[in-house]
Amino acid sequence: MKSIITFLLFGSLLYPQIPVLLPGTDKSVGENPDIEFSLTNGKNNIIVHARFVMNSKMHVYSSEKKFFKIEILENSGTSEPVIKLPSVKTLKEADGSITEFFSAGQVMVFDFPLISADWKITGKIRFQACDDSACFAPMEKQFQYSSEAGKIMINSAKPDKPELFTAYKIAGRASGYKNTAAFSAFIDNYREKNEDNMFSGKSVFLIILLVLAGGFALNLTPCVLPLIPITLSIIGAGNRASSRRQGFLTGGVYGAGMAISYGLLGALAAASGGTFGAINSSWVFTAFISLIFIVLGLSMFDIIQIDLTRFRSGKPGKTGSLFSVFFMGAISALLAGACVAPVIISVIVYAASEMANGNYSGLLLPFLLGIGMALPWPLAGAGLSFLPSPGDWMTKVKYVFGIFIFAFALYYARETWMLIKPAVPLPRSSENELIEWEYDLDSALIKARKENKPIFIDFWADWCKNCLAMDASTFRSPAVADKLSSFIRVKFIATDINAPEIKKTLEHFNVAGLPTYIILEIEK
């Protein structure tokens, strides 16, 4: 008996220094640690998300020496997956060493590019969960999915699940690229300010002025600004126009192509409830644009003879030349559709609202927006008509424009390849990323209800230039990360907007263009 008491006393002295391995049913560490798997099916890939589910005081070691290991057991019908782990955190152990770990709620992402319609994926994750004083025994969790295993959900939650959506109301909405200051202002004031109501209560005259001014400002968006060298090459580079009138006419025809094409895009989106700029998600369109830019680039270096000078030097009524100018203006407007600014969403939503009330004149607003965007180009054409006589300097200008055009050709060739067979189509966590995203709307809704938190949804696509710009700048701001810390943050992947479940969700939230940001709050 004495020896037993001595053993127990000795063990109690050692206990604070030795972690105790506890079975998974022991509640002294907290709720049982687990990994929750979810599946989304992209157009050309299969995405598995693995989220750590455990007590907030617990952590999972990220080192293989401490039992963490990922194994892909089977991936028939797919290429090798791209595995993205969440950013690690660090802690100081009792012996002074620094250990890296994952925390509760962090998500691992497994991206399997599809190479066959028949596929099967299997993997397992070994891990050990601990808190400050004790550890669970090492555990293994396995996932297995196949093309024949039943339903595959895209972004999971769907509007036909009323039990998930009826508990929430849309408390805030915004769209387009926002810098840190503008985004922070939106988060601070989302209950009071709704960008979709920009025109509410305003006179017709003021609405017209706002739409024209907004259209003019679209020339400064990331999708239009880089096209300026190409535009100048079409309406003026490498030639000497006959008169200011001829230059004004050429620029006006180019602007008309922009206005009509952009107006049609907006009117169709308003009338059909579609997503503005969605044409940029088609690989056929991006391949066509890349081919056009290749031909234009070759012409800048005189490899292919396309006489751009006749766009302006011919007679004002020369139909063939002016039609070519009109066509290029229309193409530039389609490219500009990949960038969605708040004024675009406001115009589309307002036009749709007016149409629903029987006022079909609201469909003219997108065309007015296009006219605003086209306003600078007749003036630019008239100004370019007084360039000096062609010489060596103009040849150098042509070559510079040619480099710009080839850069765009390569960019859209890459976009085409990514749409046909994307390698890494989703935004992923990295060591430089400050915001950790949920990718499964279904589990995010449940989690938000459980934790009584609002939800921030970023509707995102890899073909959306402003979406990528937000990821590269605003969402890397510590100030923005801090403001979003009180939300459940969801990145809703809408790359394939024609997929039935994605389309339903976009329609449910009335998403007219990307990026769109929705804030949901629990109904009280």
111 and 28 in a common domain:
yes
Q: Identify whether 457 is part of a domain.
A: no
Q: Identify whether 310 is part of a domain.
A: yes
383 and 239 in a common domain:
yes
Residues facing residue 518 across a β-bridge = 173, 457
205 and 138 in a common domain:
no
Q: Which of 152, 179, 206 is the last residue of a domain?
A: 152
The string of DSSP letters for 114-153 reads BS-SS-EEEEEEEE-EE-SSEEEPPEEEEEEEETTSS---
Please give the average per-residue pLDDT across 4-31, as a whole number.
Answer: 38
pLDDT for the residue numbered 475: 93
Letter for the amino acid at 53? V
| pLDDT grade for 153, boundaries at 50, 70 and 90 | very low
350 and 226 in a common domain:
yes
Please give the average per-residue pLDDT across 303-310, as a whole number.
Answer: 59
Q: Are 428 and 109 in contact (CB under 8 A)?
A: yes
> By percentage, how much of the chain surpasses pLDDT 90?
9
Single out the residue of 127, 128, 141, 140 nearest to residue 20, CA to CA. 128
Out of 257-271, 297-311, 325-339, 459-473, the most confident range is 459-473
Single out the residue of 117, 124, 116 nearest to residue 50, CA to CA. 124
Q: Could you tell me the sign of the dihedral formed by the alpha carbons of 154, 157, 162, 166, in that order?
A: negative
Each residue of 78-94: b (16+ CB within 10 Å) or e? beebbbbbbbbeeeeee
Question: H helices within 314-440, ranges in order?
Answer: 319-336, 342-356, 365-374, 376-384, 392-420
**Is pLDDT above 50 for 339?**
yes
Which residues span the domain enclosing 64?
22-152
- φ, ψ for residue 392 (rounded to 5)? -60, -35
| pLDDT grade for 454, boundaries at 50, 70 and 90 | very high
Query: Higher model confidence: residue 506 or residue 228?
Result: 506
**Is pLDDT above 60 for 147?**
yes
Q: Identify whether 177 is part of a domain.
A: no
207 and 116 in a common domain:
no
**Is pLDDT above 80 for 504?**
yes
Residues facing residue 41 across a β-bridge = 46
Please give the average per-residue pLDDT across 83-87, as a whole number.
Answer: 89
| pLDDT grade for 462, boundaries at 50, 70 and 90 | confident
Q: Identify whether 135 is part of a domain.
A: yes
The tokens for 523 are 């109904």
The string of DSSP letters for 6-21 reads HHHHHHHHHGGGS-EE
Q: Identify whether 44 is part of a domain.
A: yes
Query: Higher model confidence: residue 430 or residue 261?
Result: 261
Structural domains in the chain (count): 2
Asked which of 265-269, 402-406, 436-440 is least confident by mean pLDDT, the reply is: 265-269
In this structure, what CATH number is given to the domain that contains residue 113? 2.60.40.1250
Cα-Cα-Cα-Cα torsion 301, 307, 313, 318, nearest 10 degrees, comes to -150
Residues facing residue 59 across a β-bridge = 103, 130
**Is pLDDT above 50 for 298?**
yes
115 and 261 in a common domain:
no
Q: Are strands 45-53 and 516-522 parallel, antiparallel or unpaired?
A: unpaired
Q: Identify whether 104 is part of a domain.
A: yes
Element (H, E) at 460: strand 455-460
357 and 252 in a common domain:
yes
148 and 267 in a common domain:
no
Asked which of 173-187, 190-204, 443-457 is least confident by mean pLDDT, the reply is: 190-204
d(CA 340, CA 461): 12
Please give the average per-residue pLDDT across 47-64, as a whole number.
Answer: 86
Q: Identify whether 142 is part of a domain.
A: yes
| pLDDT grade for 455, boundaries at 50, 70 and 90 | very high
**Is pLDDT above 50 for 477?**
yes
**Is pLDDT above 60 for 240?**
no
pLDDT for the residue numbered 151: 36
pLDDT for the residue numbered 4: 41
**Is pLDDT above 90 for 192?**
no
Q: Identify whether 433 is part of a domain.
A: no
Q: Which of 393, 420, 447 is the last residue of a domain?
A: 420
pLDDT digits (tens, 9 = 90+) for 103-135: 888 889 998 988 887 888 999 998 888 876 667
Please give the average per-residue pLDDT across 362-377, as a whole number.
Answer: 84
**Is pLDDT above 50 for 417?**
yes
205 and 146 in a common domain:
no
d(CA 457, CA 460): 9
215 and 142 in a common domain:
no
- φ, ψ for residue 337 (rounded to 5)? -65, -15
pLDDT digits (tens, 9 = 90+) for 285-294: 778 878 877 8
d(CA 219, CA 231): 12
pLDDT for the residue numbered 184: 92
pLDDT for the residue numbered 110: 92
Query: Higher model confidence: residue 356 or residue 472?
Result: 472
Q: Which of 95, 120, 152 is the last residue of a domain?
A: 152
216 and 128 in a common domain:
no
pLDDT for the residue numbered 393: 61
| pLDDT grade for 278, boundaries at 50, 70 and 90 | low
415 and 297 in a common domain:
yes
pLDDT digits (tens, 9 = 90+) for 86-95: 888 888 766 6
pLDDT for the residue numbered 478: 92
